[in-house]
Amino acid sequence: MAASSASRPRAVVSGGAGFIGSHLCAALLERDVSVLALDNFITGSADNLEPLQGNPEFEFRQADVNHGVFIGGDVRYVLHFASPASPPQYDANPIHTLKVGTIGTMNMLGLARAKNATFLLASTSEVYGDPLVHPQPESYWGNVNPIGPRGCYDEAKRCAEAYAMAYRRMHQVDTRIIRIFNTHGPRMQVQDGRAVPNFMAQAIRGEPLTVYGDGSQTRSLCYVSDLVRGVLAALERGDEQPVNLGNPEEVSMLELAETIIRLAGSQSKIDHRDLPVDDPKQRRPDITRARNLLGWQPEVGLEDGLRRTLEYFRSVL
């Protein structure tokens, strides 16, 4: 039976108008949690929240969490998803990216502390940098260049994790840290700049697919519905230690480009471009901890997920 409004738990989601944030808001509402989404629209979009706007349990506030978060009433969950997340986006907003990982995280933890709420940090596989251990377990401390172009994102997220642990130790805030690996799905921006949107838009338009370097670098792609299930499992059943959330099915960027050309039925060719500085050579999550602790693993296979995302890009291009 659906909970009445008065007894419903309430979640505050920063970055609620973003790609993952908006799917998360929808999933929380489906589980009878009221949602207040916050976003400053640096990379989020009001269009992503369109399907939720008529829901009386959903509220949106345009806000920058770096400037403080003041919210009346009870809050059961604070989920911090605000941040530019694609390399071109954080490269274009390095100071904002640093602030939202540090000051923004501190403000959201302060909110969780004041409300006695559970806090969940959307951290990232980028905390492992260009990893020297493969696949990456949570116990690996990473190989990050603090002064390279990815430093603003990687170090901000590493600092965010330190903040979460500090608030737990000092103020007993109930915290969770999830490390999100590459994720794709509907509502990714066409201009996002990551491999999946770039390749899909290029394949659909019949343009060459821009593979950086020789394309031998790998990633492991998770479909967004699997990821969101993992976030909710971490919220409900997680502990204070970081947990990897991602799909362990690893693919090289050249294979990914070729697969997308085939799935799109496209005639596009491949155009090799320079490899960006500090681009991680390989990435695959060890999800043993997520399986054991959360009983979670991805269900959507790589090609199945890519087909669904492709359908979305066809609908918006």
Q: Which residues form the interface with ligand UDP (CB under 6 A)?
A: 86-87, 182, 194-195, 198, 210-212, 217, 219, 253, 276, 279
167 noted as active-site residue: no
Query: Which is nearer to ligand UDP, 34 or 182 (by Cβ)?
Result: 182
CB of 54 to ligand UDP, least distance (A): 33
Residues 119 and 115: their CA atoms lie apart, in Å, by 10
Query: Which is nearer to ligand UDP, 110 or 276 (by Cβ)?
Result: 276
Burial tier of 292 (Cβ tally within 10 Å: 0-12, 13-18, 19+): exposed
Structure tokens at 166: 């500090």
CB of 254 to ligand UDP, least distance (A): 8
CB of 260 to ligand UDP, least distance (A): 11
Query: Which is nearer to ligand UDP, 212 or 312 (by Cβ)?
Result: 212
CB of 264 to ligand UDP, least distance (A): 15
CB of 222 to ligand UDP, least distance (A): 12
Query: Which is nearer to ligand UDP, 33 or 257 (by Cβ)?
Result: 257
The residue from 128, 153, 163, 167 that is catalytic is: 153
Residues 178 and 234: their CA atoms lie apart, in Å, by 7
Query: Which is nearer to ligand UDP, 46 or 316 (by Cβ)?
Result: 316
Residues 47 and 150: their CA atoms lie apart, in Å, by 28
Residue 100, CA distances (Å) to 151, 160, 186 in order: 14, 9, 24
Scored b (16 or more CB within 10 A) or e, 50-68 reads eebeeeebbbbeebbbbee
Q: Catalytic amino acids?
A: 153
